[in-house]
Chains A and B, each alone.
Chain A
Amino acid sequence: MRPLMLKGHERSLTQVKYNKEGDLIFSVAKDKVASIWYSSNGERVGTLGGVGNPDSHIGTIWSIDVDIKTNYAVTGSADFSAKLWRVQGGACLHTWKTNTPVRRVAFSPDNSKLIVVTAETMGFKGAISVYPINYTSTDQSDEPLLTIETREGASVVTVAGWAYNGKYIIAGHNDGTVSKYDAETGEFLADVRPHELNITDLQFADDLTYFLVSSKDKSASLIDVDTLTVRKVFEADAPMNSAAFTPVKDFVILGGGQEARDVTTTSSRQGKFEARFFHKIFQDEIGRVKGHFGPLNYVAVHPAGTSYASGGEDGYIRVHHFEKSYFDFKYDVERTAEAQHQKISA
């Protein structure tokens, strides 16, 4: 596997995402500019913001999301704002001002709403705000439809996302808790605490019925939306920053590594800066991919499962197109189960 090395960011990456068809990769970093790449050849097609663009963010962009039609992208930044962009051409359409830095943005499954997760600073409590997105005109409402403030006794929300049909909002907290809210009313429904330390990432499976959360406590968990049951736990040996499902194959990819400040040598081995592949069902670690010179801050997988991209603390995005051996790999028990199934159906 020869990875494409995308060097468009001057600083460490914060989030990397594929669009629905997987032909574009959206990346954001601490350098205030979002980049858009062709995933197949690594060519950068454009940036959202940049030198000379007055609409550029002026702080670290923590998060980016793109709608299913790849019309709009949204970015959330430490500059107390979230911005809506037209993907083609990179024009900024709207800016939502917030009281605190924006940590996470996410379109609802039907793209009609937007989640903005804000951090807890300067006397403001962190919150999940839901804004409507207006596709028919350029005017966007600054008034959130709903604001879910950090509830009493709970720690601040770090990540959030929409479950199936946009019915629930799932949020990961700073103390390792995962909560479920009604997306319409903002009512708190349930929570579970699968991790000891803060939840660093939340990614859904393709049908939005279960999700993965990664944590600084060196593990990640697979949780189902309906019951918030922790179905699988993936144990790693370093703090995990991100966890992604691989469509087609029953794997998950975890990314992370020792914090930059804790690493004194440049050896990538010691920092454990590798993408870790786990089997989704058997929970075994089944392989690693080396390459980054710093922790992996985000891992994203092509929606068709053909490639994955990892954004590193080292400022590189590495895009890996899977080889045949990847698709061929199966546990013996999977093979036998499949074979038996075939036999029965035949």
Chain B
Amino acid sequence: MADIASQPVANWADSENELPVPVITKNADGTKTVVSFRVGPDGKKYKVIQKVRETIVKETVHPAVAARKQWTKFGEERDSAPGPDMRTTQIGEDVQLNLGTAWKDLEKEAEEKKAEESAKNATTQRIKCRTCGGDHFTSKCPFKDTLGVDSEANAAAPSATPEPEANSSVFVPPHLRNRKPGDAPAVGRGYEDRDDSTTLRITQLNEIVDEDTLRDELLRPFMLKRVTVVKDRMTGRSKGVAYVSFMSVDQAQAAIDRFDGKGYHNLIIHLEFSKPKK
């Protein structure tokens, strides 16, 4: 190995592999820690710290193999101690062999998983201050006061919620402004434009029946949009009338076929399509 220096670096692979010799320290518990260096696929240098345990394994082998295990080292290894030498023998990174005709997909999957895991386990979390670009949280920035004003303005612009498009040209009544798309329709919105074609009016319901019992008992097999039992405003008691919106007209019809004129909680209930208010 002494002639390393005399060897011209002829191999393209060698030129980047000039790494420090691994350092080995023995630990109290019989294990040893190996610190080595490697160049990652990204071309950056990594320090690899491995905790290694040497175990003695019993094996059943051919006698000739057993004899060869006892050989004294020779050639360039004649002065080496028994056991693997870290300079010539290292344990590599885990590699995957995913056998299968769809190995490409398997590999991709495994890689993604690995990337996810390593992202989770990353020890050096990069913190970058938005004010000065330093290695700390923005709020802890020493230059917060001096640089803060300017960059805050910059930072605010993109992060603000996009202005509603209504601002541009279409007139939006004041009470509808600032509403997000998913919001529930405002109270008082015209009932006339609601689609009631799938809504049934159920009458002669027993007073004890409320929305939940309707949903869970009578109409359990159906997909329902809305169930409302009409209640007396003062007493809160059911008026025996309910409106139920189904997901489809067919379902509503099926419910009529099944329950109209049938007994439910001791009363004969009536189902019919809800008629629009005149």
A and B touch in the complex (CB under 8 A): yes
Residues of A at the B interface (CB closer than 8 Å) are 1-8, 10-12, 21, 23-24, 31, 33, 35-38, 40-51, 53, 69-70, 88-90, 260, 263, 266-269, 277, 284-291, 293-294, 312-315, 318, 320, 322-323, 325-326, 329
Please, which residue of chain A has its CB at the minimum distance from the CB of B96?
Answer: A1
| Closest residue on chain B to residue A48 by CB atoms | B75
Chain B residues in 8 Å Cβ range of A38:
69
Task: Kindly identify, within residues 26 to 69 of chain B, every residue whose CB is under 8 Å from any CB belonging to chain A.
Answer: 41, 43, 59, 61-62, 64-65, 68-69
Task: Tell me, in angstroms, the Cα distance from A268 to B78 when the chains sit together.
Answer: 35
How many residues of chain B have a CB within 8 Å of chain A?
A: 51
Flag if B90 contacts A88 (CB, 8 Å): no
**Docked CA distance A286–B1 (Å):** 39
* B161 at interface, CB cutoff 8 A: no
Q: Which of A4, A266, A315 contacts B14 (CB 8 A)?
A: A315
Q: In the complex, are the beta carbons of B76 and A47 less than 8 A apart?
A: yes
Contact B89–A6 (Cβ < 8 Å): yes
CB–CB A21/B65 < 8 A: yes
Task: Give the CA-CA distance A284 to B101 in the complex, in Å.
Answer: 7
Binds A, one of B80-88, B170-178, B260-268: B80-88
CB-based nearest A residue for B1: A51
CB closest chain-A residue, reference B14: A315
Task: Please name the residue on chain B nearest to A22 by beta carbon.
Answer: B65
Q: List 16 A-B contacts (CB under 8 A).
A: A1-B97, A2-B95, A7-B87, A8-B88, A10-B11, A23-B61, A23-B69, A43-B84, A46-B75, A47-B76, A51-B3, A51-B76, A266-B16, A313-B11, A315-B17, A326-B99
Cα distance A94–B95 when bound, in Å?
A: 41
Q: Return the chain B residue nearest A86 by Cβ.
A: B74
**B76–A50 CB distance below 8 A:** yes
The 7 closest A-B pairs by CB, nearest first: A47-B75, A46-B74, A314-B13, A42-B89, A50-B76, A329-B99, A43-B84
**Contact of A21 with B61 in the complex, beta carbons under 8 Å:** yes
> Which one of A8, A10, A44, A323 lies within 8 Å of B7 (CB-CB)?
A10
Query: A2-B92, A11-B11, A313-B13 given as contacts; is B74 within 8 A of A90 (CB)?
Result: yes
B5 to chain A, nearest CB (A): 11
Please tell me if the beta carbons of B99 and A277 are within 8 angstroms of each other in the complex.
yes
Instruction: Select which of A48, A290, A294, A318 is within 8 A of B12 by beta carbon.
Output: A294
Task: Find the residue from A53, A69, A287, A318 having the highest chain B CB count within 10 A.
Answer: A287
Known: A42-B89, A315-B11. A21 touches B64 (CB 8 A): yes
- Interface check B73, CB cutoff 8 A: yes
Most chain A CB within a 10 A radius of its CB, from B1, B2, B13: B13
Chain A contacts of B76 at CB under 8 A? 33, 46-47, 50-51
Q: How far is the CA of A302 from the CA of B83 in the complex (A)?
A: 21
Q: B residues engaging A (CB < 8 A)?
A: 1-4, 7, 10-14, 16-17, 41, 43, 59, 61-62, 64-65, 68-69, 71, 73-78, 80, 82-85, 87-101, 103, 106-107
| Nearest B residue (CB) for A312 | B13
Tell me how far the C-beta of B15 lies from the nearest C-beta in chain A, rounded to whole angstroms.
10
Complex CA–CA separation, A1 to B95 (angstroms)? 5
> Are the C-beta atoms of A44 and B85 separated by less than 8 Å?
yes
Is A23 in contact with B65, judged by CB distance below 8 angstroms? yes
Whether B89 pairs with A293 at a CB distance below 8 angstroms is no
| Chain A proximity of B57: nearest CB distance (Å) | 8
CB atoms of B97 and A326 under 8 A apart: yes
Residues of B contacting A1 in the complex (Cβ-Cβ under 8 angstroms)? 94-97
In whole angstroms, how far apart are the Cα atoms of A290 and B114 in the complex? 15
